[in-house]
A and B are shown apart, each in its own frame.
Chain A
Amino acid sequence: MDSFKKFFVISMMTVIVLLSCVAGLVIWVDPFFYYHAPHEEFPYLVDNQLSQNPGMARHMQYDSVILGSSMTVNFNTHWFADLLGLDTIKLNYSGAYPKDQANIMEHIFASENDVEAVFLGIDVMTYTGGVDETKYPIPEYLYNDSHGNDVQYLLNKDVLLNYILRPIADPEKTDLATVYESWWTDEYYNKQWVMHNYEPPLPIEEETPSDAYLNSVEENLAVNIVPYIEDNPDTVFYIFFPPYSILYWNDVICENHLEATMAEYQDIAEKMLAHENVRLFFFPNEEWIVTDLDNYADYTHYHRDINYYMTQCFADGTCEVSSAEEMKQALLEMRLLIEKFDFEELFAGEY
């Protein structure tokens, strides 16, 4: 054979053999659970919400899910088993927009799991954007059923090195009960740290009209949330408003959109309460939580103990809001809490 023909043939064979091995390995291990459920014996590394959540939603077994932003990453699924008797999986997207929730719910309800409960944290500030906006660009090849673009998964250096070879070399299987947990260790949760890093926004003179957010909010709910609630009447949706610290409300006041934010809370609550399979929980007015900055690592992110308390509330009904009137009352308490809080004293301290 011509030596250069041989050269090309050998090169091509090398390429085909190596690429086939890589693709075969990716399919067999399937570190993003795109093709099948995980193998019991493989030490899967789970740390990438964007890439791994859809596969987990499709191919893992569960009867309930935790959805939401970084406000939900510190939940431990064992608590849900102990307090609510549920086999829960965490599918959070930190910083998630409503469209991110819709994307993952699409996979959850298309799976073979019989979903009894969805725990969905709502961050009001993320509901004021466009209905098709996602926080980050999603890897489409992991979100659709088409196999035409699977090559991006099958022949992907990061997948091979970081999610197959690294776990083999350094086996430390991710505990799905605490997956995606925040990197802040206990020592970060203190007033000194929070205040040291907190910068209040520049004051805005013009007040945002109270109805400024309502159109976007209603559109987002109608497109990204309500269809899944309506299409799954047997699933209970535990929808909750997380308890941001009092500093969050300082931001709201400085940016002059308190009335608009209050109206947004009320509107979301009313829209959600219209559905029989929704249970609504309001935590922002829990004074003992939000005014004690030792519970926080920054102006919004709270300690896992608070997540535990919230799980207890889901189980025993504390902080539950059952009607529009109760929501108005909760927001009134929130206003009083903000009004009586001594911000001057807080900011007068040395941090």
Chain B
Amino acid sequence: MLFNSYIFVFIFFPVCLIGYYSLVHWQKQSLAQLFLIAMSFWFYGYFQVNYLLIMLFSIALNYTFHRLLSHPVSRMYSQCLLALAVAANLGILFYFKYYDFFIANINAAFGSSFVLRHIILPLGISFFTFQQIGFLVDTYRGEVRNCSLRPYVLFVVFFPQLIAGPIVNQSEMLPQFERMTEKRFDWEKFARGFFLFVMGMFKKVILADTFGAGVDFGYANLDMLGRMDAILLIVFYSLQLYFDFSGYCDMARGIGSMLGIEIPENFRSPYRAVNIVDFWKRWHITLNRFFTRYLYIPLGGNRKGMARMYGNLLLIFLLSGLWHGAGWNYIVWGMLHGILYVMTRWWQEQQRRLERRRLDAGREWHLPFKMTWVSRILLFAYIGIAWVYFRAESIAQANGLLMIALHGKMQKLSMELAECFRLDELWYVLKVLHLDAMAYSRYILMFFMLAVGICLAMFSKNAAEIANRIKGKTVTAVLTGIVFVWCILSFSGVSTFLYFNF
């Protein structure tokens, strides 16, 4: 089930809120947990019931490992058990996500002809697998022991974060699940959650999906793009991905907040970052946190010399690329980030040394404001280029688009690309203003959406910050309602097809 669907908005979530708060009101902690578990199963199973079985198997397996790790016989025993548990989880992930990629590469390298299985990837498997690996490592470290089955299952399946994160940690969720009935209903938290949910839906339904239409068109018609079209396409995808993913996470956090459960922040205005290190503190924060906590630090972090640290960082970005998708293009994307990250860390290290010398000499120096913006724009451009590999179906396609952006024809902007941004509701505004008759009227909405996207991503406060600042005014309430209605009306469209072919 999607958050941006009629069934979620009109049936699932109202039922969830009423049922949950009724049980909380009657102090039925266990039943409230069970209710949320059942609702989460409905939410997940709505996509495909078979997925539910895979998830249940994964939960049963990991809970068994958790119980075994909760009673360590010896350090060696715990280490072996943890290694086995992690291997089992990665094995499952490998089978569903990487099997075909692996076999295709074997076939390409050795000329073999092993059959590809075309396995359909269960939704959210990367998220719930990593979340459970984190839980097992925490168990091994003694941070959590003998967790009851009910809160454990809820930790894994809690529907707001089940499909696309954030990747939550047991230390931030389990205590909340254990104290559901202790907290009083908080209208402020609820209203701010609702506002955040609506903002997230706006980002997803109105912004991301509109940019997405342009991006889909562009990638499907690379041959007809000119240089400026290609550059715009790269920017559009950067914005689409941000609004899509962060919009989803805002909705998840908003839902959590309405249920009185805090879900960690996953995006903090990432395109306002001034360098790649800063970017990864703002983009998919919980994945970065996972890699830091469960991979980077165990590998030695920065404690074993600079060379080892840079190696660790590159490894993490390689794995991050692979986590995002089974394809060489994802690896290239990960390595593009990794290389710049390592270079930036090296540069920062040099700067730190210089700084120390300056301070010793009594001189202070900060990056001037204008330079901050230059670095922000350069970083945005670099990340946009890296996203090309993330979005493209292959490295060749990505290279093709980048070549057009560099050496393509300087031609009139594609009208078809601009048409993808023709939201009817905005087009009528142009008509009312008599702007529709202008020679380049078809491009107005494209550039309007681009300007809105860039302003929201790079200049404005993010949705969570705005949600934390609203004061409950009537005007804000009415506007929130109108935006919500706009989103709901956009869930469904009327299919049109070209009718002139057989």
Is there an interface contact between A10 and B477, defined as CB atoms closer than 8 Å?
A: yes
Q: Would B428 and A165 count as touching, CB distance under 8 A?
A: yes
Is A70 a contact partner of B472 (Cβ separation < 8 A)?
A: no
- Contact present for A152 and B489 (CB under 8 Å): no
Find chain B residues with CB under 8 A from A162 CB: 424, 494
Query: Interface stretch among A13-21, A200-208, A221-229?
Result: A13-21
Q: A7-B191, A94-B500, A123-B502 are in contact. Are A158 and B481 (CB under 8 A)?
A: no
**Among A136, A153, A161, A180: residue with most chain B CB under 10 A:** A161
Residue in A6, A19, A165, A301 whose beta carbon sits within 8 Å of that of B477 in the complex = A6
B6 within 8 A of A: yes
Which single residue of chain B is at the shortest CB-CB distance from A5? B187
Contact for B425 among A157, A180, A183, CB less than 8 A: A157
Residues of chain A within 8 A (CB-CB) of B428 are 161, 165, 169
Q: Are the CB atoms of B500 and A18 closer together than 8 Å?
A: no
- A11:B187 contact, CB within 8 angstroms: no
Given contacts A6-B472, A7-B191, A8-B191, contact A159 B494 (CB under 8 A): yes
B424 lies within 8 A of A11 (CB): no
Contact yes or no, A157 B481, CB < 8 A: no
Cα(A157)–Cα(B489), bound, Å: 5
Total A residues in contact with B, Cβ cutoff 8 Å: 51
Answer yes or no: A69 CB below 8 A from chain B CBs.
Answer: yes
Considering the complex, give the chain B residue whose CB is closest to the CB of A93.
Answer: B499
Asked whether any CB of chain A lies closer than 8 Å to the CB of B413, the reply is: no
Q: B491 and A155: CB pair below 8 A?
A: yes
- For residue B190, which residues in chain A have a CB less than 8 angstroms away from its CB? 4, 8
Complex interface: chain B residues within 8 A of A165 (CB):
428
Interface assignment of A108: CB less than 8 Å from any CB of chain B: no
* Contact code string B193-211 (vs A, CB < 8 Å = 1, else 0): 0110010000000000000
Tell me if A151 counts as interface (CB < 8 A to partner B): yes
CA distance A161 to B490 in the complex (A): 11
Of chain B, the residue at the smallest CB distance from A51 is: B494
A155 CA / B486 CA spacing, docked (Å): 10
Q: Mask for B452-472, Cβ within 8 A of A = 1, else 0?
A: 000000000000000000111
| Chain B residues within 8 Å of A125, by CB | 502
Residue in chain A with minimal CB distance to B186: A4
Interface string of A158-186 (1 = CB under 8 A from B): 11111101000100000000001011000
Beta-carbon contact of A10 and B474 below 8 Å: yes
Docked pose: A300 CA to B490 CA in angstroms = 38
Report the minimal beta-carbon distance from A34 to chain B, rounded to whole angstroms: 12
Q: Is B484 an interface residue (CB 8 A)?
A: yes
Q: How far is the CA of A341 from the CA of B135 in the complex (A)?
A: 77
Any B CB within 8 A of the CB of A212: no
Residues of chain A with a CB closer than 8 A to B493's CB = 156-158
Q: In whole angstroms, how far apart are the Cα atoms of A139 and B497 in the complex?
A: 13
List residues of A (114-130) whose CB comes within 8 Å of B's CBs.
123, 125-126
Chain A: minimal CB distance from B315 (Å) = 45
Complex formed: what's the CA distance from A12 to B477 in Å? 8
Task: Return the CB mask of A62-86 against B: 1 if under 8 Å, else 0.
Answer: 0000000110010000000000000
Q: Once bound together, how far apart are the Cα atoms of A157 and B500, in whole Å?
A: 26
Does the CB pair A14–B501 fall under 8 Å? no
Q: Which residues of A contact B478 (CB under 8 A)?
A: 10-11, 14
**Chain A 138-160 per-residue mask, 1 if CB under 8 angstroms from chain B, else 0:** 01000000000001110111111
Given contacts A157-B424, A158-B424, contact A12 B502 (CB under 8 A): no
Please indicate the chain B residues that have their CB under 8 angstroms from the CB of A161 in the complex. 424-425, 428
- Does A37 touch B at the CB level, under 8 Å? no
Cβ of B133 to closest chain A Cβ, rounded Å = 38
Nearest-neighbour CB distance to chain B for A255, whole angstroms, equals 14
Interface status of B105 (Cβ within 8 A of chain A): no
Q: Which residue of B lies closest to A161 (CB)?
A: B424
Residues of B within 8 A of A160 (CB): 489
Chain A 260-287, CB-CB to B under 8 Å as 1, else 0, gives 0000000000000000000000000000
Q: In whole angstroms, how far apart are the Cα atoms of A5 and B502 in the complex?
A: 57
Pick from B187, B485, B500, B501: contact of A4, CB under 8 Å: B187
Contact A4–B191 (Cβ < 8 Å): yes
Most chain B CB neighbours (cut-off 10 Å) among A15, A180, A183 = A15
Q: Is A14 within 8 A of B481, CB to CB?
A: yes
Q: Answer whether residue B181 sits at the interface, using C-beta atoms and an 8 A cutoff.
A: no
Q: How far is the CA of A51 from the CA of B492 in the complex (A)?
A: 13
B481 close to A15 (CB less than 8 A): yes
Q: Is B113 an interface residue (CB 8 A)?
A: no
Residues of B within 8 A of A4 (CB): 187-188, 190-192, 472
| CB <8 Å contact, B424 and A14 | no
Can you name 16 extra interface pairs (CB under 8 A) apart from A4-B190, A48-B494? A2-B188, A3-B473, A7-B195, A7-B472, A7-B477, A10-B478, A11-B194, A15-B484, A15-B485, A51-B495, A137-B495, A152-B6, A153-B492, A155-B491, A156-B492, A300-B502
Binding site for B on A (CB under 8 A): 2-15, 18-19, 22, 48-51, 69-70, 73, 94-95, 123, 125-126, 136-137, 139, 151-153, 155-163, 165, 169, 180, 182-183, 300-301
Show 16 A/B contacts (Cβ-Cβ < 8 Å), sorted by A.
Answer: A4-B192, A4-B472, A6-B472, A7-B195, A7-B476, A7-B477, A12-B481, A15-B484, A15-B485, A70-B499, A73-B499, A136-B497, A137-B495, A152-B492, A161-B428, A180-B499
The 3 A-B pairs with the shortest beta carbon distances in the complex, nearest first, are: A14-B481, A94-B499, A3-B472
